[in-house]
Structure 1
Amino acid sequence: MAVNGTPKRSGWWKDAIIYQIWPKSFHSARGSPTGDIPGIIAKLDYIKSLGVNTIWVSPHYKSPMIDEGYDVADYEDVNPDFGTVADAEQLIKEVHQRGMRIIFDLVINHTSDQHKWFQESRSSKTNPKRDWYIWRPAKYDSNGNRQPPNNWASNFSQSAWTWDPTTEEYFLHLFAIEQPDINWTNAECRKALLESSMEFWLKRGVNGFRVDTVNMYSKPMDFPDAPITVPGSDIQPASSLYCNGPEMHNYLREMGDILEKYDAMTVGELPCTSDPKQVLEYVGFARNELSMVFQFDTVDLGKTPGDVFAFKPWTVSDFANITNKWQTFTNGNDGWTTSFIENHDQGRAPSRFGSDKPEHHDASSKMLALLTVLSSGTPFVYMGQELGMTNVPLSWDYKEYLDLNTINYIQRLKDQGKSDDEIVKKYMPAINLHARDNSRTPVQWTDGPNAGFTKEGVKPWMRVNDNYKQINAAQQLEDKDSILSFWKQAIALRKEHPALFTYGKFTSLLDYSGKEDHKVFAFAKDAAGDKASSATNKQAIVLLNFSDQEQDVSKIAKGKVALSSHKDTNASAPLKAYEGRVLLV
């Protein structure tokens, strides 16, 4: 795997700018209710024009789509709604022909219950694949009532265990019932899993993977009860027990050995891991485990642990301190970080962190673009983010929400006796703010029928956001002052100054540790990396106004304006409402 003791990995992903596609909602070239792989191919020139150089395609595998493709029935096949293996191979070829790279999603904590391996596993206790999943006998209370093996809650608001009457045992699923967890302690299973899910696609030219739930594979196999943190509930959050288990790094090094053969990258989804020292164990270059990870502290602002739909207030200081933490944890070591504020599991950034009011929408979308693109590490852009797509209107009936997590949450409210009227008035504002459905509405390409997502007369799988006539790619492509144009400028600025924005040293310019009610997030980027000595500009200053009021920045502003979300501004002028400004020193 190494040549003369030197890893074969080039580290190309440090200069990557990655555009995420959730295929079901991206674009339909076939005129069907869902997006498809030919639709992605048709938009590759548009994607390349943004300045990104890598594409991440979320799950496109064969799946019953209980959890929108994160329930994989066959790693080596493609969901027929999206296309065929030949289509996927053509996509890889077309991406490479444009000088870009492509990564796929890797979902290997669990499979679908329709996967042939699980079908065999559940057929009998003596089946050779029985131990490829996690089965346990029931427990019984003092009255003789059957109970799950422990009190763990799944991530989808239900018990993490389901009784299977065929063999009269429970199987573990940390997510939906239809997503049984794989038993990673079984070496035969692990080998077959990595060959099917990774090598099959690496041999076809894929350049890496976004790795789903990357720290959940090593569980405590005695399955102790979780501590009681939700009084009165028979199921309890258990992430402290099943995340970052004792064998995780051994498993990831096995994966790293495979990836190294192809100079492939990984970005891991690393929830419930807030200690930078612990995260560094995953992303240190010499460890050959993960290239980088998604840390969720920023996008979890406003969410309540154990009840992600319950809103809690946050401040700009909270935002700044979290950003500072994850922009600096790789200082002086061989780790790498990421920059993102949207993905398929989050509400849209303007609605959550800026303002989606018409008078502030464009400015706040541009301001948040600067945060994403000009932070250190590898930036990730989610489809439609470059257009300033927003959350769905609060006026939508909750029946329009199609994500399993949202549906289960609303059902639990009903089971608790909450009326429809109470759900709408008391709970829907927070659900609307955080629901994953917000990022899964079809991309708004035009102001025509179905927003250009699919042909006229076809009902899209999910309702198009009502504001597609005001927010769409066709209009923004013609407008040099549009959000889309601004994203292109921000990405071009990043590429022009890699020593500042890709490799630069991050420093907060204001004291966010006290009680002062800051409205501005201000940080400097000092040139670093191999190109630092030859860099024309040794420092950049980024000023971000998170409010609808002007803010004085004269004490910290210096240099020349390189880019601003408002025209005709100067370096030390007050920041206008939701203005983002970049200064080069």
Structure 2
Amino acid sequence: MDNNGFDNVEMKETMKDSETSKKAEAEGEVSHYSEVNDAEQGSSTSPQLCTRPYAGMGKEELLKFSQTPGWRAARWICLLIILAGWCAMLGMAIFLIITTPRCLPWWQSAVVYQIFPRSFADSAADVDSIIGGDGVGDLQGIINKVDYLKNDLGINAVLLSSIYKSGGRDNGEDITDFTLVDDVLGSIDDFEELVQVLHDNDIKLILDFIPNHSSAHHEFFQKSRKVVAGTPDSDDDLKYQEFYTWTDAPEPNNWISLYSGSAWNCDDVADKCFLHQYSEYQPDLDLANEEVRAHLSDALERWFTRGVDGFNIRGVRYFHEAPDFTDEPVNADYISIGSNHSQYESLHHDYTAEYDGMSHSLLQTWRDGVFYKFSTAGTYRVMLTDSDSNTTYVQSYYGTSNDPGANLPMNFNLLEMGDPMGQGGTITGRELEALIRKWLDVMDEGNWPNFQLGNYGASRIASRLAPEYSKVANILLLTLPGTPICYYGDELGMENLQDLEYEQVKDLRAKTDPSVWQLKTRDYERSPMQWDATMNAGFSTSEDYIYLPVHSNYQQVNVAAQKEDEDSVLQMFRRLVALRSEYRALTTDTINFVASSDEVIAYIREIDIEKERFFIALNFGSIDSEVDYFHTGDGDSLPLQGSVVVSTDRGRESSRVELNKLHLKPGEGVVVLLDEIVHVGSGWWYKFFLPDA
């Protein structure tokens, strides 16, 4: 350090201060020594006080002393120590950032629970309410069951089927107002209470959204009819003609509705035909029309302001059709089901489904627009899409990094497990592995997978296979990579409704084609939730009317009974959800298959930078299986032993198993926490011991 920076004025002032200081300190020093001498005379045991080493030094002398080699070296050493410590802390911070797994967005780590509101829970009768106790599930009924969702299941998100104000034809899917709740289900106040209660319990809410069509009773369609008929109420209504697709009678082509019969309906008032890919009560909106898009975007925004955390966009593949109305080619492989109506499956839908990739531009517009607008830290708004498109189109649903689309295009591959009619079927381990790979293999890096075993349009998994496979199926769902979506009641092993009569049918698709309604109805998988063994399975207190019949096995298969049985499907489901929340290895997007056979599918779930590795083996076959997994793999072996953390057999949990002779009964599955780090398919295998020869 240098002294040359002092100017003359400062030097003079300093010297004066120094002289003054010296006099004062000299006097103080004499006094100091006097005190020392006095102390020594008073007591021979008093410690001798020494003068302070730099006492009396002025600023100039201190600065001069600080420039000695020893002090210079000391300062540099201290500075280097501080710098080295700072670098070490910076390096450690960078290391932790790189190696610590990132926190997953809520929709990636969540277990999503899908509810069909009309079938979940009917709130109790109330003198101030016209809906409670009426035999139909409602929003207050869901509110009453939030404790079950939170504490008995441990799920993180709820997906509700359509709740919008409707014309009452198709279970809420013939929408008359995209911004209001259907009167059958409750009110906006009920909805806002539901959002609040769910959020208070750390549960997100996702809604179905069906932009493809409206109800024929929607205000827009009624105005459109009048304009086409030449009798508009005002010139302002002329625009509504373009909200739907109209053409001169007769029907312009061979297009067929998803609900069977022609996709065109000739209106008596308008004297023209309108397009409906679903039923005649659900005319298609023209989603190329900017005002239609704007109206739907406003509806999404309205629900976001009410606290919705995301939407499942339904029917994406039907958003656009060929504008020249080209006939669709005949499906030569179609086998008649004996209906009086033309069937959707009898044609190849080259001009009405996934047409020209146009559907996905709307998803990207919403993703970049209203979804982005309402996505902030901690409140990301997720987009799902509900389409039965084959895997050829998967990537177009996800979009790209520059033009993102859906976060979770729903994966329906596992709905192919077993008999689609719900009459009991089988699937091999190899077939199951192929279904899983079919989706994962076409995903680009960075896309997030999802799986589901059932929904409101597919037979229940307990019926597609058999009730005794409910447990092993739930292990599969909750240990596959990505986000699992569980359909209500599957956590109990609920089965398809039996003994349904045509007079009880609510599904419009079945009513549209009555000659084959048993093949068409989706009411089988929509029966009321089985809460207990009381009247109506605890679903409703109504004595006069129930929306759909309750399954006859409700006294044995219900929530109350399974909560008391540690070996039940429900209790195993709960343990699996808890396991997922504890171990990151079960919430990654990767999977390593070990060895699949006619009976068993086996795989490993792991995360490279943590030690926990899980081995899952599930027997979907009809005979016992005993396999040596220890010597199975890509040129090497698994560890010899592991601990069973979850099993279809409660008594097997916490036990040790040897992987060179793992025995599984039909319908049995185990989740094993491995003893050592293992990576199947690539990388190193760490083996600390081998079995005796």
**TM-score, normalisation: structure 1:** 0.84
Alpha-carbon shift at residue 237 of structure 1 (Å): 3.2
Alpha-carbon shift at residue 175 of structure 1 (Å): 0.8
Q: 2:114 corresponds to which residue?
A: 20
Q: Specify whether residues 72 and 238 from structure 1 end up closer, same or farther in structure 2 by C-alpha distance, changes over 3 A only.
A: farther
Contact 2:616 2:671 in 1 (8 A): yes
1:584 has 2:673 as partner: yes
Contact 1:560 1:571 in 2 (8 A): no
Q: Where do 1:485-504 residues align within 5 Å?
A: 485-498=571-584, 500-504=585-589
More helix by share: 2
Alpha-carbon shift at residue 21 of structure 1 (Å): 1.1
**TM-score, normalisation: structure 2:** 0.71
Deviations 1:366-411 (A, max 9, x none): 1111111111111111111111111123x44454443222334442
Contact 2:411 2:451 in 1 (8 A): no
Q: 2:190 corresponds to which residue?
A: 87
1:567 partner amino acid:
R
Q: Specify whether residues 469 and 289 from structure 1 end up closer, same or farther in structure 2 by C-alpha distance, changes over 3 A only.
A: same
Structure 2 CA distance, aligned partners of 1:379 and 1:131?
Answer: 40
Structure 1 window deviating more from structure 2 (52-61 vs 569-578): it is 569-578
Alpha-carbon shift at residue 215 of structure 1 (Å): 2.5
Match of 1:454 among 522, 540, 547: 540
Q: Specify whether residues 571 and 167 from structure 1 end up closer, same or farther in structure 2 by C-alpha distance, changes over 3 A only.
A: farther
1:254 has 2:401 as partner: no
Q: Which protein, 1 or 2, shows the higher relative CO under an 8 Å CA cutoff with sep ≥ 6?
A: 1
Q: 1:542 corresponds to which residue?
A: 616
Q: Specify whether residues 280 and 91 from structure 1 end up closer, same or farther in structure 2 by C-alpha distance, changes over 3 A only.
A: same
Q: 2:554 corresponds to which residue?
A: 468
Alpha-carbon shift at residue 112 of structure 1 (Å): 0.9
Is there any run of 5+ residues in structure 2 with no aligned partner, and where? Answer: 1-102, 124-131, 231-237, 376-380, 633-637, 675-693
Q: 1:53 corresponds to which residue?
A: 156
Structure 2 CA distance, aligned partners of 1:485 and 1:223?
Answer: 54
Number of residue-to-residue matches in the alignment: 524
Match of 1:189 among 288, 292, 308: 292
Q: Where do 1:132-531 residues align within 5 Å?
A: 132-138=243-249, 146=250, 148-196=251-299, 198-229=300-331, 230=334, 236-246=346-356, 247-256=358-367, 257-263=369-375, 264-275=381-392, 278-284=393-399, 286=401, 287-301=403-417, 315-330=428-443, 333-353=445-465, 355-356=466-467, 360=468, 364-393=469-498, 395-411=499-515, 431=519, 435-498=521-584, 500-510=585-595, 518-527=598-607
Deviations 1:86-144 (A, max 9, x none): 11111111111112211111010111111111111112226320110111123xxxxxx
Alpha-carbon shift at residue 203 of structure 1 (Å): 1.0
Structure 2 CA distance, aligned partners of 1:370 and 1:333?
Answer: 26
1:365 partner amino acid:
S
Q: 1:417 corresponds to which residue?
A: none
Deviations 1:350-369 (A, max 9, x none): 1103x13xxx3xxx211111
| C-alpha RMSD of matched pairs (Å) | 2.5
SS of alignment partner, residue 595 of structure 2: coil
1:503 partner amino acid:
T
Contact 1:153 1:238 in 2 (8 A): no
Deviations 1:251-282 (A, max 9, x none): 1111112101122101101223322xx31232
Q: Specify whether residues 132 and 504 from structure 1 end up closer, same or farther in structure 2 by C-alpha distance, changes over 3 A only.
A: closer
Structure 2 CA distance, aligned partners of 1:410 and 1:466?
Answer: 25
Deviations 1:170-212 (A, max 9, x none): 111111111111101111111112212x111001110011111
Contact 1:441 1:462 in 2 (8 A): yes
Q: 1:120 corresponds to which residue?
A: 223
Q: Specify whether residues 571 and 448 from structure 1 end up closer, same or farther in structure 2 by C-alpha distance, changes over 3 A only.
A: farther
Alpha-carbon shift at residue 435 of structure 1 (Å): 4.6
Alpha-carbon shift at residue 64 of structure 1 (Å): 2.1
Contact 1:284 1:334 in 2 (8 A): no
Alpha-carbon shift at residue 566 of structure 1 (Å): 1.1
Q: Specify whether residues 336 and 174 from structure 1 end up closer, same or farther in structure 2 by C-alpha distance, changes over 3 A only.
A: same
- Percent of pairs with identical residues: 30
Structure 1 CA distance, aligned partners of 2:400 and 2:567?
Answer: 40
SS of alignment partner, residue 75 of structure 1: strand
Contact 2:209 2:313 in 1 (8 A): yes
Is there any run of 5+ residues in structure 1 with no aligned partner, and where? Answer: 1-8, 139-145, 414-427, 513-517
Structure 2 CA distance, aligned partners of 1:53 and 1:173?
Answer: 36
